[in-house]
Structure formats: structure tokens, C-alpha cells
Amino acid sequence: MIAHILKSRETILLAAILALLAIIAARFPAFVAPSNLINVFNDTSTLILLALGQMVVILTRCIDLSVAANLALTGMVVAMLNTVAPGVPIVAILGLAVALGTLMGAVNGLLVWKLEIPPIVVTLGTMTIYRGIIFLISDGKWINAHEMSAGFKDFPRAVVLGLPVLSWIAIAAVLAFVVLLGRTPPGRAFYAVGGNPRAAVYTGIDVGRTQFLAFVLSGALAGLTGYLWVSRFAVAYVDIAGGFELQVVAACVIGGVSIAGGIGSVGGALLGALFLGVINNALPVVNISPFWQLAISGSAIIVAVAFNARASRSKGRVILKSAEHTA
């Protein structure tokens, strides 16, 4: 039992994060101060939210490359609404953001489910469409801090029990997904569809409907993150979160979520996001250009996929050897 825990992806990743923090602290002790670690977690909260949604999609053997565009479009819509109607309650804005994100996720899911278009093609297409819609509705203009109401900007920054609201939302989402994937029929269906779609059909699971639900969840979280992102940074524009979908996929893959589907955990996705969050926050501290973030994320994806593939091959050999002995 203890040996299994020590060899698990989550334990290895946690050890890597602690080792990384130790290396950084050796030269910059202030980086591991509690106040700064809280800031690092808060900065990573948006990545955590998107990684949770992406994880569910990947579990079903799909991928959602439109999450960052979904975030950007939702953020622009709620920012524009705030400029013309600053009195709209935050609860209503949150509801609109989630609803709009859910709608965009449902579009992806329906195209994959009903038209059987490959998910990567669907989400590449909708990613471009959503970015284009942002330009059309905003005329390419920015919405800046002075155009947003104080309540709109202050909500994710408000501190409750020592943590910003944004961090509490990420924590709540993690707990909700632990329950969803571990205690509910839809959660078990995500794993079943990704693990063996044909067997899932024989057990009465609708593969297309399950994949549709995964895209809906991913879209809802992307919509929520759209408001949180725009309000926290107090700016909305066409290219907001450009390329962020790569970091979202990287967080999942680094956390042990298999691109082949059916394998992954909430803890792994969380640690994968935190690993990237620590790296991204540490780069400026050690005087490395932030433009290296994308290169690091891409490299991490390749290494993690190779690691997963090697682990899968090893398991396959063990099964074959067992069969030979029994024969």
C-alpha cells in the first residue's frame, strides 16, 4: 500500500513541486513566504478551474481547445454589459457567464455527439469562431479598468478567511469534482466511456451523451473563469488568454490524465496546474523571460505523454507475461 502511494503520479508530482520550491527558496527565500504562496495559488486558480473541465473532456477521449476562446468571449460580453449597466448584480453576471459558457460548451458537445465530427476539429473551429465574435461585438476595442464598476472588479479580489474569493471558488470546484467523479453515476460514466467505449455501451451508457455532458461542464467552467479573469485583471480584449488552452492541456497531462482517455484524477489535475503555476510565477523571479512559459508547457506535454505511454506499455507486458504463465 505504502509502495503504491510512493509510486503514484500524484505523489511524484507533489515531490517535484516541493523540490522546485526548495530550489527557488535557496536563492529567493521570500518566494516561499506564506503570503506569496497564497498569491501563487490565487494566480493559478483560473488554470485549476479550466483544467478540471478539460480533465473531464479528456477522460471521455475528447479534447476541448476552445476553452480560452470561450473564456475570452464570455469575459468580453460581461465586461460590455457592465459598462452599459453597471448596476447589474454580481450574482446575475455570474449566472450569465456560466450560462454563456455552458452554451458554447454545448455547441461543441452537440457537434461531436450528433455529427460525429472529431473533437479536435470541432474545438479548433469553434475556437476561431469565438475569437471572431469577440472582434465583431467589440469592434476590436479594449475595455479597461476605468470603464468597469468597482463591484465588478472587486468580487474575485475580496478576501475571506485569508484567501481571495477567486481561490475559494477554485477550492470549491475541486471539492465538487471530487464528489462528481468519485460518487456519482455521471462521474463513473466519464471513466467508463474513456476506458472502453464499447463496453460502456453494453452497460447502458450513452457514449455521445456522456461526451456532450463533459463539454458542457468544460464550457460552464470556462464561462465562469471568463468573468473571474476579466474582473481580476480589469481588462477585456480580443486576444485575452491567447494560447492559454495549451497550459490547460499541459496541466492535465502533467497531472497524469491520459490523452487516450479513462485515466486521471482531480488531485492529479490540481497538482499539474500548481506545478505550472509555480513555474510561471518563478520565471520572473529567476530572471527568465515569461515567453518561455509556452515552450515549457509544450515540452512538459511531450514528456508527460511519453511517460504515460511508457507506463501503459509496461502494464501491457505484465499482462501478457501473466497470461503465458497461466497457460
Grid coordinates belonging to 323: 497470461
Count CB neighbours of 210 within 10 A: 24
Helix (H, G, I), strand (E, B) or coil at 294: helix
Contact present, 115 and 126 (Cβ < 8 Å): no
The CA distance from 260 to 53, in Å, is: 16
Contact (CB, 8 A) for 205 and 192 = yes
In a domain, 151, yes or no: yes
Residue 252 covered by a domain: no
CA 202 to chain centre: 31
Position 295 in a domain: no
229 inside domain = yes
The residue segments making up the domain with residue 123 are: 34-242
**How many CA atoms lie less than 13 Å away from 248 in the CB half-sphere?**
30
Residues 6+ apart with CB under 8 A from 295: none
Terminal alpha carbon distance of the chain: 29
Domain membership of residue 314 (yes or no) is no
For residue 318, tell me if it sits in a domain.
Answer: no
Give the pLDDT score at 211: 97
**Can you give the pLDDT at residue 282?**
84
Sequential pLDDT tens for the chain (327 residues): 444 444 577 888 899 899 989 988 888 888 889 999 999 999 999 999 999 999 999 999 999 999 999 999 999 999 999 999 999 999 999 999 999 999 999 999 999 999 999 999 999 999 999 999 999 999 989 999 999 999 999 999 999 999 999 999 999 999 999 999 999 999 999 999 999 888 989 889 999 999 999 999 999 999 999 999 999 999 999 999 988 998 899 899 999 898 888 899 999 999 999 999 998 888 777 777 766 766 776 777 787 777 766 665 544 433 334 334 444
Domain presence at residue 233: yes
| Domain-embedded: residue 115 | yes
- pTM of the shown model: 0.90
pLDDT of residue 285: 77
Overall number of domains in the chain = 1
